[in-house]
Structures are given as structure tokens and as C-alpha cells.
Amino acid sequence: MIIWETIRFVVVDFTLSVLYFPVWWYTAGVMKVLRLIRREVSSLGQSLNLKVLAQFLFKPMFGQRDIAGRIISFFVRIFHFLFLLIFTIVVTLLLLLLLVVWLLLPPFLLYNVLYHLGVPVPYVA
């Protein structure tokens, strides 16, 4: 009985898992990576408080209500907001690069495995 279960696992379950893997990778796997990217960007935006920074852009800092305090506060907040916004954009682009790597990894690995096994593969320039 244990031999039959082992043979069934190797022949049926393992084979079906290997055949289903590309389908999962490009459907459920991509959705999982997209949810990860959305969650990370949302979390980054919340932790950096970009919305709060934008709301208080024209408010004076530290209660400095004179003209010099307002001007200095405005430029400090603009610099702070732009720096954090650029940081958020860079992180988002890096996460999208992760998605591209996710999509290109299986064909790249398959190409390299076939190439090193000596199977003639077409050269893509």
C-alpha cells in the first residue's frame, strides 16, 4: 500500500504540480505580488504622512506667525514633502521592478537550463 501511494504521488501529484506551476505563477502569483506592492506603497505613504504634510503645507511651523516664519516654514515643508514624495516614487519603481523580475524569471531560468543541457534554443537578440 505504501509503495502504491508513493508511486501515485510521484506520477500524478508531482507531475500535476509541475504542470500547474506556470499557470499559478502567472495568475495567482502575479496577483499576490501586486497585492504586496499595493500594501507596501500604501504602508509607506501612511508611515511618511504625505497626506498630512500636504494639508499643513501653508501652516506656520512652531507657531511662528510672522512673515519670516511663514516663508521659512513653507520652504522647509516643500523640501520635506518633495523629498518624501521622491523617496516614495523610487520605492514604488523598485517594487514594480520586482514585478518585472517576477514575470521574467521563469522564461530566463528555462532558457538557461535548456542552454546548459545542450538543447538548441533560439537566440533572442
pLDDT digits (tens, 9 = 90+) for 53-111: 888 888 888 877 888 888 888 899 899 989 998 999 999 999 999 999 999 999 999 99
- Whether residue 118 lies inside any domain: the answer is no
List the alpha helices (DSSP H) in 27-62. 28-48, 50-55
- Whether residue 64 lies inside any domain: the answer is yes
Output the pTM of the full model.
Answer: 0.75
82: amino acid identity, one letter: L
CA-closest candidate to residue 75, choices 62, 87, 57: 57
Could you tell me how many residues make up the chain?
125
Number of domains in the chain: 1
Q: In whole angstroms, how large is the CA radius of gyration of the chain?
A: 26
What pLDDT digit, counting tens, does each position of 1-57 carry?
788 888 888 888 888 888 899 999 999 999 999 999 999 999 998 899 888 888 888
- Whether residue 117 lies inside any domain: the answer is no
Per-residue pLDDT band at 122 (split at 50, 70, 90): confident
- Whether residue 116 lies inside any domain: the answer is no
Say whether pLDDT at 125 is over 70.
Answer: no
Residue 65, pLDDT score = 82
- Whether residue 59 lies inside any domain: the answer is yes
Q: What is the mean pLDDT of the chain?
A: 89
- Lookup: cell for 36: 504586496
- Whether residue 125 lies inside any domain: the answer is no
